[in-house]
Structure 1
Amino acid sequence: MASERSPLLQDRRERGLSTSSSINGKPKLGPMEISAKNRRAILAGIWIATFLGSLNTTLVATLIGSISSEYQSANQASWLGTAYLLATCTFTPLYGRLSNVLGRRGANQTAVFFAGLGVLCCGLSNSLPMLIAARFFGGIGGGGIFTTATIITSDMYTLRERSMTQGIAAIFNGAGMGLGGPLGGYISDRWGWRWAFLIQIPFFIVAFTLTGMNLHYVTPGKGKSTKEVLKRIDYLGSATLFSAVGSLLLFLSYKYNEEMSFSSKPVIISLCCGIGMFIMFVIAELFVAPEPVLAPFLLKQRVPVLVGMSNFMVSFCNFSVMYFFPMYFETVMLTSASTAGAHLLPNSLSMSCGSMFAGWVMAKTGRYKVLSGVFGIFPFVATIMMSRLSEDSGPFAQWFSIIPLGFGNAVVVQATLIALLAHVDRPTMPVATGFGQLFRGIGQVSGVAFSSAVFQSLLYDELSKRITGPDAASTISRIRHSSKLVARLEPTLKQYARDSYGIALRRVFFYAACATLTAYIIRMAIPDKNLDEEELPVRRSSKRHSIHRRSTGNLAAASLPVDIDSQRQPRMQSPERMSPNEMEDAIAGDEVNSDADTASTPTLQAQPIRRRLSTYSSTFGVEDLEDEMAGSARQ
């Protein structure tokens, strides 16, 4: 039996107060109290899903040629990427809130389910519109996978430990992004592009099963009714954001893919709708939505805004390169789809190394500023090198020019994520994570859409300069609609097409260089911070850990500060709400009074600390989105 002087927690639990509770006689452990085996199983589930989500963001980069050639619509094939990213940037911010509504497990499994179902529909689609719709459906879950994985990791580790754990997680993210192109091209060349989607289904099932069986820890919170919870989801903000970004994509498609004039109705309507919806989105977030996806209080804080701007530019650069780098080798160097995709492998390896390196350095030093400053310039160097590629470039330039891009961006992503989390309160972390992912998602879709518009416009202009004659319009249209046609053209037309593709693609890489340089300049304003400052100043000696359980097995009420009201019974102040100084006072006070006569002090009835389950709900009811302990987007 535990004595009054025996420590309540050991090992990892010594870092702060316990979050465990007992429901229906069964102990419920907090995220930092679960076993190492349980923690590894949870990480395996979310990391497999992270790999698959990242894989699907770049998978179509080397499938576009095969898909567009089958459906004869290469100029519309960019929608395969933008549809997925449109859904990602629209729905990703909601998962920060859904993690508090459905619980960590419910939100993560919802994301995995939608992502897997979208991939299955892609493999079974029989038309380009159906395939684009399936990609959008998969994007609804794809973005949520990253957000929920980050939140779950934040639950289970301290900030310094999180830097290393997030570094390992980023290996799966980087591997998925880097391997999407090579695997897609390899599978497409041998078994057809549909199998690039269908082969993923068993892995989605494994990820879903692992989290379903192991994600059962509890986090602080209290319950309210389902109606109250659902009312606080930002439906208006999500709808206006979707409409604004979707209208912008339509404008770029009409103007640059379809070569419509600015005076045409579709161009004018889509542009006006985009501007109008964006204004409505801002108004909804600032004044209307009870839980806005674009948290207004974070917009008033320097570091979250700077991190968001950096995320936008970094993602813009990354996806501009990811979607068009393989095309360079397929159309200019005339390689196969699998060989073109293989040129992304060095990027994948460098991203994994960069993620691990960044996590290791931050875990060792507790700092991130110098890391981002030194390695953040690497992507700019890489994109400048890519913008200077030519048909005569040697193997080194073709294969290794992308390496600094992957390594530098991986370091930057890890450093900025930790910087963001280090400058917000722990209860705000789910909201802040969704905030950062929102800018990243908009940057991803903007990078693909803008790059596609620039590419198609320049390609049309360059082909028009070189190809003339009575059938010129038809020939130009065929070359633009099917990138695989370039290798089969007669020698003169083939050279014209290669030159035109080369100029257009190099311009895309140059704009990516401008974006990443802008991101670097923005990050210079992010201040450094010691990652150990989050830790409570509680020493690891037994004298400093005299927070006990009474003989009844309940948390000792005398160990905690209390709010005394003459009109009602004293209640415990929640330990998660205590400042470090209050924690010290509580521990010291308990140490001094532990041997005193218990009859000389008021007997305080300990109230049960309600817990927000990582599953859907507890005996206390459905989980509340607005609970103070879980963080609110409107403070």
Structure 2
Amino acid sequence: MSQQQVEAAADEPAAAQDPTEPAPRSPREIRLVMVGLVVTMLLAMLDNLIVGTAMPTIVGDLGGAEHLSWVVTAYTLATAASTPIWGKLGDLLGRKGTFLTSIVIFLVGSALSGLSQTMGQLIAFRAVQGLGAGGLMVGVMSIMGALIPPRDRGKYQGMFAAVMALATIGGPLIGGFITDHLSWHWTFYINLPLGIVALAVVVVTLHLPKVRTKAKIDYLGALLLTVGITSLVLITTWGGQQYAWGSKEILGLGALAAATLIGFCYVEQRVEEPMLPLGLFKNRNFAAVSVIGFIVGFAMFGAVTFLPLYQQTVQGASATNSGLLLMPMMFGMLVISLVVGQAITKTGKYRIYPIIGTAVMAGGSLLLSTLGTDTSRFTSACYMIVLGAGMGFLMQVTMLVAQNSVELKDMGVASSTATLFRTIGGSFGVALFGAIFTSRVTSTMKDRLGAAGAAKGGGKGSLSSMSPEALRKLDPRVQDAYHHAVSNGIHTVFLWGAVISLVAVAAALFLREVALRGSGSGEKAEPQLEAV
């Protein structure tokens, strides 16, 4: 039993408010706080997209191209490993304080990254930045959960879907503009004014109940979970790229991940205040949406990674406008997310949307598996809209169900767990789909051109450097073979994506319609800790 006690601030009578429910807020107060939350989410999502376009320039300035992948890996590792820790610290020590701390750490990391003079410094400071980033998304979602009852949360979901679309489309464009007209240092400095705005708004407008707890922080659990998550991310980052899947390095990381995660589960069942209460997974809805979130990350990051490659190499789209290539998918996601959010607020019903969403996502993946060398951009855009629509049914609903499945005191853990499953799913998706794609491209090149063709267009090293400009300089026969190879790779990736999405359909069918807290009728939610 947790010793955490939530005491209302002096100007908010504690007796009048059920501690399991968000305190009533005026529409004006919520709108003001949402400004800070939206800016913070934009900050979190823009960073990697802006920095990605500047990486060639950064390498040219700092050198150390052999360590280029670590600029991304250090950030990703720190973000994934710190996400569940930020969520639990918010529950124990107060969400506002931990949220502000994560923003400050992110801004310090951004400033130091911009000041970097060597690749080693940049990698280290990117890790600091990632450590703060782990708390940004979790903080936004858990604070939203503490402020707004689940029934009313749908009205605000569209804002976050819009931020995601804006970041995906605008990030590469902003990064390219900054790199060309200012310097790569400003791809990090641009975070500072946005972060200062978010800090100021949150400090002034956000008022949450004070938290006082005597429970000890689960340091051992945090350590084991961090090592386990880090090992998993390194496996998916290095496997099939830097090291062979059967190498001693990858197998060693797999053994380390298994040992630490088993140890984590053992510890969590015995400590007073576990970092991640395993009892949450006894809740049928929480377990189901965790599986769905994992697969959504799997499908989304796979699409974001491989669709631009197909459109640039096979359809001849411009690489400089790569952010625009995903606009149809983001448009479908945004529109459906807005509609679903309003419908949930109006009716209080949500179970049907994950079922529809997972089915549509599977259908969109199946449609994208039919892309070929002669598929028009209009046709591929229509298929992307279908995939985006499926994700629109799921992106915010999975977080809503996860938060509605726990008590208010565990809002941070629920938010961080949902975010973590989506992040790990994306990491595994890119790794698995990357291995499938590379294998398929290599075999197709061999079939069409023989072993020499595989060396030209299908080898691991050449795939990473086969830019559209370089491709146009090759022999037309090699170009044609490579177009077919990429198309076959896309076909296989999305066919597997459709199959994996069926697991999400099955998980969605297990969801139960539990009344959303704060419903308009004033009805109380059913007890949430139901058995699976």
So what's the TM-score if we normalise by structure 2?
0.82
- Number of aligned residue pairs: 510
**Corresponding residue for 2:10?**
21
Is 1:274 paired with 2:257?
yes
Deviations 1:2-54 (A, max 9, x none): xxxxxxxxxxxxxxxx955259xxxxxx9746654443222101111112212
**Corresponding residue for 1:200?**
191
Task: Return the match for 2:269 from 277, 280, 286.
Answer: 286
1:489–1:162 CA distance, 2 compared to 1 (3 A): same
Kindly report which structure 2 residues correspond to 1:530-569, keeping only aligned pairs within 5 A, or say none.
530-531=515-516
Is 1:374 paired with 2:356?
yes
- CA distance in 1 between counterparts of 2:426 and 2:416 reads 15
Q: Is the 8 A contact 1:326 1:344 kept in 2?
A: yes
Kindly report which structure 2 residues correspond to 1:165-564, keeping only aligned pairs within 5 A, or say none.
165-181=156-172, 183-184=174-175, 195-215=186-206, 217-219=207-209, 221-222=211-212, 224=214, 231-232=216-217, 234-252=218-236, 254-258=238-242, 260=244, 262=246, 264-287=247-270, 289-463=271-445, 466=449, 468-469=451-452, 472=455, 476=459, 479-484=462-467, 486-487=470-471, 489-492=473-476, 493-531=478-516
Shift of 1:322: 1.6
Q: Is the 8 A contact 2:232 2:253 kept in 1?
A: yes
Task: Return the match for 1:157 from 148, 152, 160.
Answer: 148
Shift of 1:296: 1.5
- Alignment partner of 2:372: what SS? coil
Q: Is the 8 A contact 1:112 1:145 kept in 2?
A: yes
1:255–1:167 CA distance, 2 compared to 1 (3 A): closer
Shift of 1:366: 0.9
Q: Is the 8 A contact 1:62 1:341 kept in 2?
A: no
- CA distance in 1 between counterparts of 2:436 and 2:62 reads 23
- CA distance in 2 between counterparts of 1:361 and 1:261 reads 46
Kindly report which structure 2 residues correspond to 1:138-157, keeping only aligned pairs within 5 A, or say none.
138-157=129-148
**Corresponding residue for 1:110?**
101
- CA distance in 2 between counterparts of 1:336 and 1:364 reads 43
**Corresponding residue for 1:622?**
none
- CA distance in 2 between counterparts of 1:344 and 1:315 reads 16
Give, as a single letter, the amino acid of the residue that structure 2 aligns with 1:239.
L
- CA distance in 1 between counterparts of 2:32 and 2:8 reads 21
- CA distance in 2 between counterparts of 1:132 and 1:460 reads 32
Query: Which structure features the higher share of helix residues?
Result: 2
Higher alpha-carbon deviation: 265-274 or 342-351:
265-274
Q: Is the 8 A contact 2:169 2:327 kept in 1?
A: yes
Q: Is the 8 A contact 1:60 1:80 kept in 2?
A: no
- CA distance in 2 between counterparts of 1:22 and 1:214 reads 15
Q: Which has the higher contact order (CA 8 A, sep 6+)?
A: 1
- CA distance in 1 between counterparts of 2:500 and 2:71 reads 23
- CA distance in 1 between counterparts of 2:458 and 2:307 reads 24
- CA distance in 2 between counterparts of 1:516 and 1:74 reads 37
- CA distance in 1 between counterparts of 2:63 and 2:365 reads 31
- CA distance in 2 between counterparts of 1:517 and 1:96 reads 30
Q: Is the 8 A contact 1:455 1:505 kept in 2?
A: yes
Shift of 1:361: 0.2
Give, as a single letter, the amino acid of the residue that structure 1 aligns with 2:266.
I
**Corresponding residue for 1:39?**
30
Q: Is the 8 A contact 2:445 2:458 kept in 1?
A: no
Q: Percent identity?
A: 27
